[in-house]
Chain A
Amino acid sequence: MPEIQPYQGKDYDVIVVGAGHAGVEAALAAARMGNKTLLMTINLDMVAFMPCNPSVGGPAKGIVVREIDALGGEMGRNIDKTYVQMRMLNTGKGPAVRALRAQADKHAYHAEMKHTLEKEPNLTLRQGIVDDLIVEDGVCEGVITNTGARYSAKAVVIAAGTAARGKIIIGELMYSSGPNNSQPAMKLTKNLEKYGLELKRFKTGTPPRVDGNTIKYDETEEQPGDVEPNHFSYETPDENYLALKNQLSCWLTYTNETTHKIIRDNLDRAPMFTGVIEGVGPRYCPSIEDKIVRFADKSRHQLFLEPEGRNTDEWYVQGLSTSMPEEVQQKILHSIKGLEHAEMMRPGYAIEYDVVSPYQLRPTLETKQVKNLFTAGQTNGTSGYEEAAGQGIMAGINAGLRALNKGEFIMKRSEGYIGVMIDDLVTKGTNEPYRLLTSRAEYRLILRHDNADLRLTDKGYELGLISQERYDAFNKKRQIIEDEIARLNTVRVKPSDTVNAYVQSHNEKPLKDGVLATDFLRRPQVTYKDLLQFIPAPDEPLDRREMEEVEVQIKYAGYIKKAEDNVAKMKKMEAKKIPNNIDYDAIDGLATEAHQKLNKIRPETVAQATRISGVNPADIAILDVYIEQGKIAKVK
């Protein structure tokens, strides 16, 4: 075999390896901040590809998409252009947990994102496999491809996803592969070990796809989209919303005892249980064989049939993720109501891949071992397009800032789900593919989908990712909301027959005296729209989103205030920086476990240290005093 001849390619400011959901956000952010950016992908036809479920959003995840949008990222805009169904979930619950979810046209999503990348002035999109990094004295200076090209860069982001030494498993069949039979990256992560990074193996999976022409829909339950308009991006206007008749429905069906028997009878062929699969899979997205074994007493499991797009008849069978042999997968499908004659177009599979243990990262997603090297997405042990995109934009921003020699951007837990996720990853690591859940956020009430722009647009603007025009519009919106809340704190609702008829129709006590409009709005059934019937209208009517914001901020003010008080205290702890050269060996009296963990994770603030399990209050107290002592010593 002839040797590959190395050659010197162009110089870049930022290079992003991988063009999945993390990589595209990273590259766009870096480029839009003014960096000459190279985005490398193994296959240009798989840019922003959805190898698993054709949907975006849902609880916690949907809020991440809006956070990305507030930072000037692309995911929200892209799905708004390419969805086939939109649904707001949890509408019967509180404002903090409402969740927007879209069914995507996966081909359109990919094509639209690819085109967006191509149009971006500072960005070069190129097909190729990155085999290794250029690292000098612990500093990453570029990448080397399998074709021999050497590209230099001031910062590199790796978002390799499941391509990183990917291995697909279907029953007894096993082969090296990236997602959906793409080429795997066999060398890159292996080489990361050379630079001192610790890897682990994770596993994820996907269900079979079936031909929609062979589904008996009338034996399943229809799940249509919403009539009321909603989009992910704060920029997408309501008039763009698809009428319900132009949306595609999903369909609900169930497994049954026959399905379960087929699975149980074939467990000896299930790689999950025969020891073939070594990687750790996610508990929240178990394979169907896992569900049957772990929840043996359940007589059925829900399955959702989801369209993969408009110009395809391929359907995704949500809930049936499996790595059983192809033959068994077919039997499973045919045992299910509505799928008795379904033609399987692609079998489901499990995929194992390399992960960089995320405790090795700083909250900027830069690796501690190699300067100027950032990692994002599944490479960091997460799962999900939104989780990947959220890290992607953060890694891209920080790589961009590094290339510009401009400081760093860390999102606090109180500022966004993205901040929660990254803090969890770098502080606690993860033993399974990490998924965001609303319960991971201690400030859930503050991290709402309706206020992601209020939380983050300022930052996006400062970073140069939000246009002046958008920022002006945002500031206007913010002002309108503040003014209206202030106004409602002065206007009174007076008792009258109409008011009391309204109140009593909601089973509440009639008014005797006038009450503040804000207090009136805090009554359980009262909405802002209703309130407007009883008080003068504002000078300028509010739009749908402004109304929602005013209503939420007033109705839940008590809880919001409590949460904000906690955030304020937490900020004081976050202000206590731990010097990065701190020598934990020099601190007497730390408990052994605390000493080990602090040394391994090297938290950057005292607040972060408190979140490490095994670090106790007494250890924090000692650490606190030690740091303070060091400061005084320096001054003297």
Chain B
Amino acid sequence: MTATSEFDTIAAVATPPGEGGISIIRVSGDDVFDVVEPLFKGKNLKNVKTHTINYGHIIDPETQSEVDEVMVSVMRAPKTYTREDVLEINCHGGLMATNEILQLVLSNGARLAEPGEFTKRAFLNGRIDLSQAEAVMDLIRAKTDKSMKVALNQLDGSLSRLIKNLRQDILEVLAQVEVNIDYPEYDDVETMTTKLLLEKAQEVKASIQQLLKTAKQGKVLREGLATAIVGRPNVGKSSLLNQLLNEDKAIVTDVAGTTRDVIEEYVNVAGVPLKLIDTAGIRKTDDTVEKIGVERSRKAIGAADLVLLVLDTSEPLTDGDRQLLADTADEKRIIILNKTDLPLKLDMTELQHLAGDTKLIKTSMLQNQGVSELQEEIAHLFFDEGIESGQGNVMVTNARHIGLLHQASKALDDVMTGIAAGMPVDLVQIDMTRCWNYLGEITGDSYQDELLDQLFSQFCVGK
């Protein structure tokens, strides 16, 4: 964070997702019009009256293709929630369109709002009174821990390495420019010319474009990691489902167009987007016929990237359990031993034999125990062991990261523009440094003395 980020234009999905057909993306700050206008086909938003709602389409400025049909509310300061200029894009609900629009907004200069940031701004701009201040701080506190964890988790190892390498490449260039400036008589180092800088900018830009391409293909965010919750009736599948859904209401949503029978629900567990398969089957409370359960389970297992197999530890293993254990033996799976609040009747020795090296997580859905361990295990499997979704690799899937990559890429465009305009290397470097900072925001590296450390370790200087 820089001191000035307080005055950035920020954006986030403002609606509790899932329910209803409309999602709202809220954008607030001084530059809202500059950010949204290029994405909006319809009236010129800069000219419309305040507190109006305007029909149009969101387009991807790069491809000029329509993303969604929307209504945009224009609310100018000060009579807005944050007392800043606010635009709200009402789009068709559904994870896909909402995320795509959010991403466009972020790529066009807005920053993803921090937890509680709209409310914080409302407060700091005098819109909320003292009694609410404590609530604001609670909100920031409560959301921060979690979001920081999530943010870290969401950074896939290979992406992180790639960005770190890019940053190191840029850093070496920057250090060279600096050493040319601060030690102009130091003749052992090649002078960093704009030509060399241009080559580097093009190189880095190519890498970023490659990453952004994977982002476009990266289906995980939109489609989620296909996950099946399986188990005999009454072992606690539906409680588990509710636990997962309740844990993060914010990102649960239905996908429009799915049939009533095979409802798929989306949930974000510790940063992993899951597509829960056949939740309708789990929800059916009158589903007492074992046969249906097993059949549905098999079907679900076939379609899943990850299987959560639930067993009841208060009863001995049944043939149904054994069947499911066998059916999932070759799948990525986690075995959940539920009902640990009741006396243990399950033969653990047999289970361990059947489970092989599958991770066993003990839970009591009733007493709300073990769920966070389960979430951690899911994140671990996803990020560290690299479960792949059916659709291929999982490179850049996070809206914030994509936005930052776009900003970094634009900074490189500025580098090239500057070079074309004949600007000296130390000015062009300003934009190169911006690129480096954007990439650093992705990996969370913002150590301020990095550049000097590089300079003094790379060059032997002294005058």
State A92–B427 Cα separation when bound (angstroms).
Answer: 12
The contact of B426 among A97, A613, A621, by CB within 8 Å, is: A97
Beyond A319-B463, A617-B5, is A624–B124 a contact (Cβ under 8 Å)? yes
Instruction: Check B424–A286 contact: CB distance below 8 A.
Output: no
State A626–B178 Cα separation when bound (angstroms).
Answer: 40
30 sample A-B contacts, Cβ–Cβ < 8 Å, listed by A number: A90-B184, A93-B425, A94-B423, A94-B427, A284-B462, A285-B463, A291-B462, A295-B460, A302-B188, A321-B462, A437-B182, A439-B178, A439-B451, A444-B426, A445-B427, A524-B421, A525-B422, A559-B423, A559-B427, A569-B4, A569-B7, A589-B141, A611-B3, A613-B447, A618-B114, A618-B115, A618-B140, A625-B133, A629-B133, A632-B129
State A291–B2 Cα separation when bound (angstroms).
Answer: 35
Instruction: Check A304–B140 contact: CB distance below 8 A.
Output: no
Nearest 4 A/B pairs, CB to CB: A524-B422, A94-B424, A569-B4, A617-B1
State A632–B131 Cα separation when bound (angstroms).
Answer: 10
- Interface residue ranges of B128-156 to A (CB < 8 Å): 129-130, 133-134, 136-137, 140-141, 144, 148
| Cβ of A572 under 8 Å from chain B | yes
| Cβ of A607 under 8 Å from chain B | yes
Q: Which residues of B contact A625 (CB under 8 A)?
A: 120, 123-124, 133, 136-137, 140
- Interface residue ranges of A336-392 to B (CB < 8 Å): none
Taken residue by residue from 298 to 313, chain A's Cβ proximity to chain B (1 for < 8 Å, 0 otherwise) reads as 1001101000000000
Instruction: Check A60–B425 contact: CB distance below 8 A.
Output: no
State A413–B462 Cα separation when bound (angstroms).
Answer: 25
Closest B-chain residue to A295, C-beta based?
B460
Q: Which residues of B contact A621 (CB under 8 A)?
A: 114, 116-117, 120, 140
Q: Is the interface of B mostly helix, strand, loop or mixed?
A: helix
| Cβ of B66 under 8 Å from chain A | no
Q: Which residues of B contact A570 (CB under 8 A)?
A: 3-4
| Cβ of B181 under 8 Å from chain A | yes
4 further contact pairs, Cβ within 8 A, besides A618-B141, A621-B140, A632-B133: A556-B423, A589-B137, A620-B6, A629-B133
**Chain A residues within CB distance 8 Å of chain B:** 58-60, 89-90, 92-94, 96-97, 99, 223, 283-286, 291, 294-295, 298, 301-302, 304, 318-319, 321, 428, 437-440, 444-445, 522-525, 556, 559, 562-563, 566, 569-570, 572-573, 588-589, 606-607, 610-611, 613, 616-618, 620-622, 624-626, 628-629, 632-633, 636
Q: Which residues of B contact A99 (CB under 8 A)?
A: 184
Q: Which residues of B contact A444 (CB under 8 A)?
A: 426, 430
State A606–B123 Cα separation when bound (angstroms).
Answer: 16
Beyond A96-B427, A617-B5, A628-B124, is A286–B448 a contact (Cβ under 8 Å)? no
Beyond A96-B427, A439-B452, is A304–B463 a contact (Cβ under 8 Å)? yes
Number of B interface residues in the complex (CB < 8 A): 53
Q: Which residues of A contact B3 (CB under 8 A)?
A: 569-570, 573, 606-607, 610-611
State A92–B194 Cα separation when bound (angstroms).
Answer: 12
Closest B-chain residue to A437, C-beta based?
B182
Instruction: Check A59–B182 contact: CB distance below 8 A.
Output: yes
State A375–B61 Cα separation when bound (angstroms).
Answer: 56
Instruction: Check B137–A319 contact: CB distance below 8 A.
Output: no
Instruction: Check A588–B141 contact: CB distance below 8 A.
Output: yes
Instruction: Check A60–B182 contact: CB distance below 8 A.
Output: yes
Closest B-chain residue to A90, C-beta based?
B184
State A588–B134 Cα separation when bound (angstroms).
Answer: 10
Q: Which residues of A contact B186 (CB under 8 A)?
A: 302
Instruction: Check B140–A589 contact: CB distance below 8 A.
Output: yes
Shortest CB–CB separation between residue B28 and chain A, in angstroms?
15
Instruction: Check B4–A319 contact: CB distance below 8 A.
Output: no
Shortest CB–CB separation between residue A515 and chain B, in angstroms?
15
State A295–B123 Cα separation when bound (angstroms).
Answer: 55
Q: Which residues of B contact A89 (CB under 8 A)?
A: 184-185
Instruction: Check A438–B141 contact: CB distance below 8 A.
Output: no
Instruction: Check A588–B427 contact: CB distance below 8 A.
Output: no
| Cβ of B361 under 8 Å from chain A | no
State A624–B185 Cα separation when bound (angstroms).
Answer: 46
Instruction: Check B427–A556 contact: CB distance below 8 A.
Output: yes
Instruction: Check A93–B460 contact: CB distance below 8 A.
Output: no
Closest A-chain residue to B460, C-beta based?
A295
State A626–B68 Cα separation when bound (angstroms).
Answer: 41
The contact of A624 among B2, B120, B460, by CB within 8 Å, is: B120
Shortest CB–CB separation between residue B192 and chain A, in angstroms?
10
Shortest CB–CB separation between residue A532 and chain B, in angstroms?
20
Instruction: Check A573–B426 contact: CB distance below 8 A.
Output: no
State A525–B421 Cα separation when bound (angstroms).
Answer: 10
Shortest CB–CB separation between residue A253 and chain B, in angstroms?
12
- Interface residue ranges of B145-170 to A (CB < 8 Å): 148
Q: Which residues of A contact B461 (CB under 8 A)?
A: 284
State A562–B431 Cα separation when bound (angstroms).
Answer: 11
State A223–B5 Cα separation when bound (angstroms).
Answer: 47
The contact of B137 among A556, A606, A622, by CB within 8 Å, is: A622
| Cβ of B187 under 8 Å from chain A | yes
Q: Which residues of A contact B452 (CB under 8 A)?
A: 437, 439-440
Instruction: Check B462–A304 contact: CB distance below 8 A.
Output: no
| Cβ of B55 under 8 Å from chain A | no
Q: Which residues of A contact B447 (CB under 8 A)?
A: 613
| Cβ of B416 under 8 Å from chain A | no
Instruction: Check A632–B130 contact: CB distance below 8 A.
Output: yes
Instruction: Check A286–B185 contact: CB distance below 8 A.
Output: no
Q: Which residues of B contact A291 (CB under 8 A)?
A: 460, 462
Q: Which residues of A contact B6 (CB under 8 A)?
A: 569, 572-573, 620, 624
Taken residue by residue from 427 to 463, chain B's Cβ proximity to chain A (1 for < 8 Å, 0 otherwise) reads as 1001000000000000000011001100110001111
The contact of B430 among A522, A559, A633, A636, by CB within 8 Å, is: A559
Shortest CB–CB separation between residue B58 and chain A, in angstroms?
27
Closest A-chain residue to B134, C-beta based?
A629
Taken residue by residue from 160 to 204, chain B's Cβ proximity to chain A (1 for < 8 Å, 0 otherwise) reads as 000000000000000000101111111110000000000000000
Shortest CB–CB separation between residue B433 and chain A, in angstroms?
9
Q: Which residues of B contact A611 (CB under 8 A)?
A: 3, 448
Shortest CB–CB separation between residue A211 and chain B, in angstroms?
22
Instruction: Check A286–B182 contact: CB distance below 8 A.
Output: no
Instruction: Check A618–B181 contact: CB distance below 8 A.
Output: no
Instruction: Check A283–B141 contact: CB distance below 8 A.
Output: no
State A371–B172 Cα separation when bound (angstroms).
Answer: 45
Closest B-chain residue to A89, C-beta based?
B184
Shortest CB–CB separation between residue A90 and chain B, in angstroms?
5
Instruction: Check A298–B188 contact: CB distance below 8 A.
Output: yes
Instruction: Check A93–B424 contact: CB distance below 8 A.
Output: yes
Instruction: Check B426–A94 contact: CB distance below 8 A.
Output: yes
State A566–B5 Cα separation when bound (angstroms).
Answer: 10
